Amino acid sequence: MKALVYLGPGKKALQERPKPVLGAATDAIVRITKTTICGTDLHILKGDVPSCEPGRILGHEGVGIIDQVGPAVTTFRPGQPVLISCISSCGICVYCRRLMYSHCLTGGWILGNRIDGTQAEFARIPYADTSLYLIPEGADEEALVMLSDVLPTGFECGVLNGRVQPGSTVAIVGAGPIGLAALLTAQFFSPAEIIMVDVDSERLVIATRFGATAVINSAGSDALEAIMKRTDGRGVDTAIEAVGIPQTFELCEKVLAPGGVLANVGVHGTKVDLHLESLWDRNITITTRLVDTVSTPMLLNTVRSRKLDAKRLVTHRFRLDRIHDAYEAFAHAADTRALKVIIEA
């Protein structure tokens, strides 16, 4: 089968690989029909993710058709269409029982990281019963690819952790796919204001189209001043950090109203200052989280009932044999206007 293989920092190749075989009794083999590229894949290619070793097939998102199941898989049978969660969960360890699937003792984020992933014609999915979701009849496959990672991440790490409420004020710093996913799913709770901050004016145009009530280009203006002005000097109830650099985290610290929640989503590579000298008396909460994908069944329902238009995040489409072009388009999003790219296997 064809598969995109990580070959060390800066190197990847589309290679011919043997089709995966069942390992544990709880495994399934899925024939991938659609997959996508995540910002995390770019981090791996930079060499930022040491757990992902050269030789690994990349990718942790996608949909497909069940090809084979191990003898202990009870929920699925060959031929069924399934959504693959970016998080594999055994369902029975101490963390899975606390619904922290991302910290599953023998699973978590392993696909396209510690084990071969989904940017291939077939993938072996561990713990199939608790890591795959049956795709309802008539559902749009491209929309569902957005449920593997980007939408649950924006929703769980940003919106749920940020305690977005009816009538509240929200600032989302970073209008990339994850920030936009938070913007789309924050609207489940009808906040009064969703202020979107980014340095890319084109992405802010998209944010307005997706429901932002105000947009601020932090490259051309003082975002702190603009948010304070917009909120009558109070700041916001929820600040969602969806970039992962010190400047954006510190902006979120500064724009919090008393009682506010700073929900971190960004992947941070360097230390950030915590300004307790100005925050100690302001009743604030700071949250961090890796996506657990516990909201996936709920999000599936909202996509199926058209309450959530997940497909709006899809901008580009490629065949698997042109996956290098897909990476180029995704990595140079400022020029290509790419949000999520669909790769058809």
Shortest Å, Cβ 130 to Zn ion: 8
Q: Is 181 a binder of Zn ion (CB under 5 A)?
A: no
Nearer to Zn ion (CB atom), residue 102 or residue 168: 102
| Residue whose C-beta lies closest to Zn ion | 38
Nearer to Zn ion (CB atom), residue 40 or residue 302: 40
Query: How far apart, in Å, are the Cα atoms of 256 and each of 129, 131, 246, 305?
Result: 41, 36, 16, 34
Q: Is 104 a binder of Zn ion (CB under 5 A)?
A: yes
Nearer to Zn ion (CB atom), residue 30 or residue 223: 30
Out of 3, 4, 29, 38, name the contact with Zn ion by CB under 5 A.
38
Task: Give the pairing type, strands 236-241 and 169-173.
Answer: parallel
**Between 201-209 and 177-186, two packed helices, what is the crossing angle to 10 degrees?**
20
x/- string (CB under 5 A) for Zn ion, residues 118-157? -------------------------------x--------
Out of 35, 40, 85, 118, name the contact with Zn ion by CB under 5 A.
40
Shortest Å, Cβ 313 to Zn ion: 13
Q: Is 93 a binder of Zn ion (CB under 5 A)?
A: yes
Q: Is 113 a binder of Zn ion (CB under 5 A)?
A: no
Does residue 113 contact residue 51 with C-beta atoms inside 8 Å?
Answer: yes
Out of 90, 123, 329, 341, name the contact with Zn ion by CB under 5 A.
90
Q: What is the 3-state secondary structure (H, E, C) of the chain?
A: CEEEEECCCCCEEEEECCCCCCCCCCCEEEEEEEEECCHHHHHHHHCCCCCCCCCCECCCCEEEEEEEECCCCCCCCCCCEEEECCCECCCCCHHHHCCCHHHCCCCECCECCCECCCCECEEEECCHHHHEEECCCCCCHHHHHCCCCHHHHHHHHHHHCCCCCCCCEEEEECCCHHHHHHHHHHHHHCCCEEEEEECCHHHHHHHHHCCCCEEEECCCCCHHHHHHHHCCCCCEEEEEECCCCHHHHHHHHHHEEEEEEEEECCCCCCCCCCCHHHHCCCCCEEECCCCCCCCHHHHHHHHHCCCCCHHHHEEEEEEHHHHHHHHHHHHCHHHHCCCEEEEEC
Shortest Å, Cβ 220 to Zn ion: 30
Closest CA to 150 of 312, 273, 262: 312
The CB-side HSE value for 101 (13 A sphere, CA atoms) comes to: 22
Q: Is 206 a binder of Zn ion (CB under 5 A)?
A: no
The stretch among 45-53, 86-94, 207-215, 287-295 that binds Zn ion (CB under 5 A) is 86-94
The stretch among 29-37, 102-110, 138-146, 187-195 that binds Zn ion (CB under 5 A) is 102-110
Shortest Å, Cβ 104 to Zn ion: 3
Nearer to Zn ion (CB atom), residue 93 or residue 224: 93
Shortest Å, Cβ 201 to Zn ion: 26
Q: Is 267 a binder of Zn ion (CB under 5 A)?
A: no
Nearer to Zn ion (CB atom), residue 131 or residue 248: 131
Shortest Å, Cβ 133 to Zn ion: 16
The stretch among 1-9, 98-106, 250-258, 304-312 that binds Zn ion (CB under 5 A) is 98-106
Q: Is 96 a binder of Zn ion (CB under 5 A)?
A: yes
Nearer to Zn ion (CB atom), residue 123 or residue 215: 123
Binding site for Zn ion (CB under 5 A): 38, 40, 90, 93, 96, 104, 149
